[in-house]
Amino acid sequence: MIDEAVLAFSAGSLMVLNAILAVVMFSIALDLRPRDFKILANAPKPLIVGLMSQFLLLPALTYMLVLVTQPQASVALGLILVAACPGGNISNFITHRAGGNAALSVSMTAFATIVAIVLTPLNIAFWGSLYPPSAEILRATVIDPVSIAITVGLMLVLPLVLGLVLNAKRPDITSKLRMPLQWLSMGIFLGFIVIALAANWGLFLAFAGGIAGLVIVHNALGLGGGYALATLAGLSPFDRRAVTIETGIQNSGLGLVLIFGFFGGLGGMAIVAAFWGVWHAISGLALARFMSRTVAAR
């Protein structure tokens, strides 16, 4: 039973993953400048639409997917947890490749990371409790929302603030660090997932077949939902690409940290998050290649 499977993942591995995510977030912050926030303050609509898509629409679509497909409890909770996480760390790179508003994407990642301190634990608790099988897991698990908030803050918000400060004080340093650090951190992150999967290859082969289809559909719902909401809100194609990608690219690394830190590495949840970490990069890059064929109107 996948609900009873537990992936092998040591405390040391969890610390390494925490450090990798902190470096990734720091590298993202090196793309941010105070003037980016001033632009958004004067025209906040794209950012508001993006955050609504990220924290309201995607969790709701995820719950509908769970109701329709009725997956096992740990798989359902894994999908809900991933949907509750902020935008993924490669969304900015993919948005740039897609010819979308990269500044909006970076700002969305920053703001989503900050509000995730409150909204991520709330979304996990709210949507997870609505599906009876996953509600059983939540009742059997001691989850302190404050602990989750602290984890998110230390891993994501603190590096974000440090990166912003360094970029404001020493732009000469950040201009040299930006690209090498982003490529290095993403390469290490993907390598870490591959190594973690290799250590649990038997479990992954046993259960991934059934989970793969769900993750692919889930990711498509995120991308499609983000595009639909941005279109209904009347955003420009330039901004619409950023919102679409930001909604469909989730911080599955944070999801893995929460799963191993608070759910004991529960098999279904961990495999969902790990497969997300691989698949959203594939789908996002493919979508970016398709979008980049035309220039987006601003």
For 225-242, give the DSSP string: HHHHHHHHTT--HHHHHH
Which 3 state secondary structure label does DSSP give 71?
Answer: coil
Domain, as residue range, for 195: 2-289
List, for the chain, all residue ranges whose pLDDT scores fall below the cut of 70: 1-14, 32, 34-37, 39, 89, 142-144, 186, 189, 192-193, 195-208
pTM as predicted: 0.84
Exposure of 133 in the CB half-sphere (CA atoms within 13 A): 16
Residue 53 placed within a domain: yes
Query: Residue 27 in contact with residue 181, Cβ under 8 Å?
Result: yes
252 found inside a domain: yes
Q: What is the rounded distance in angstroms from the CA atom of residue 240 to the CA atom of residue 295?
A: 12
Q: How many CB atoms lie within 10 A of CB 227?
A: 20
Contacts of 139 (CB under 8 A, 6+ apart): none
The whole-number pLDDT of residue 128 equals 93
Query: Is residue 101 within 8 Å of 293, Cβ to Cβ?
Result: no
pLDDT of residue 6: 53
Note whether residue 298 is domain-resident.
no
Residue 292 has a pLDDT of 87
Domain assignment of residue 295, yes or no: no
Non-local CB neighbours of 247 within 8 Å, separated by 6+ positions: 50, 53, 54, 57, 58, 87, 222, 223, 225, 226, 229
Give me the pLDDT at residue 67, please: 96
For residue 296, being part of any structural domain is answered with no
Does any domain span residue 294? no
pLDDT reported for residue 131: 95
Whether residue 297 is contained in a domain is answered as: no
| Tally of domains within the chain | 1
Contacts of 171 (CB under 8 A, 6+ apart): none
The CATH number for 114's domain is 1.20.1530.20
Round to whole Å and give the CA distance between 239 and 264: 39
225 with 61: CB under 8 angstroms?
yes
